[in-house]
């Protein structure tokens, strides 16, 4: 079945450093969604990317969708301690369940 790979699995940064997580699929992704899950919490929707090559920004977060719609990335500029959590990408194919990547857990030290 389809798999969505996500790297790295863990990332530790100093506060103020940048952070990037990458999501890849061997098959074409329909729409890609990104979620953030804080420790002990449930996944919270961040954004959905639909178009090939699409780039969206949310304050310090930049989301990209690859030209071939087989990869996506989330970049955080100047991380803060509030950015701590696990970031998941998920392939959103209409009518079916989301297929999640394994997630990247970000820790930030001040």
Partner 1 sequence: GAVVSQHPSWVICKSGTSVKIECRSLDFQATTMFWYRQFPKQSLMLMATSNEGSKATYEQGVEKDKFLINHASLTLSTLTVTSAHPEDSSFYICSARGDSSGNTIYFGEGSWLTVV
Among 48, 56, 77, 84, binds partner 1 (CB under 8 A): 48
Residue 24 is a binding residue for partner 1 (CB under 8 A): no
CA 23 to each of CA 8, 11, 16, 48, 75: distance values in angstroms, whole numbers, following the listed order: 9, 14, 23, 13, 12
Residue 102 is a binding residue for partner 1 (CB under 8 A): yes
Which range in 52-60, 64-72, 74-82, 87-95 contacts partner 1 by CB under 8 A? 87-95
State both tokens at 12: 């530790």
Residue 85 is a binding residue for partner 1 (CB under 8 A): no
CA nearest 72: which of 16, 17, 33, 14? Answer: 33
Between 20 and 48, CB nearer to partner 1? 48
Among 14, 59, 82, 94, binds partner 1 (CB under 8 A): 94
What is the Cβ-side half-sphere exposure of residue 27, based on CA atoms within 13 angstroms?
A: 10
CA 75 to each of CA 60, 83, 87: distance values in angstroms, whole numbers, following the listed order: 8, 11, 11
Residue ranges that bind partner 1, judged by CB under 8 A: 31, 33, 41-43, 45, 48, 88, 92, 94-103, 105
């Amino acid at each position: 079945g389809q798999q969505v790979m996500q790297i790295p699995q863990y990332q530790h940064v100093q506060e103020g450093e940048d952070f990037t997580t990458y999501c890849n699929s061997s098959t074409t992704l329909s729409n890609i969604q990104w979620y953030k899950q804080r420790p002990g919490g449930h996944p919270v929707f961040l954004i959905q990317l639909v178009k090939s090559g699409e780039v969206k920004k949310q304050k310090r977060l930049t989301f990209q969708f690859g030209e071939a719609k087989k990869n996506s990335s989330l970049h955080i500029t100047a991380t803060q301690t509030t950015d701590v959590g696990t970031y998941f990408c998920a392939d959103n194919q209409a009518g079916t369940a989301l297929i999640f990547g394994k997630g990247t857990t970000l820790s930030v030290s001040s």
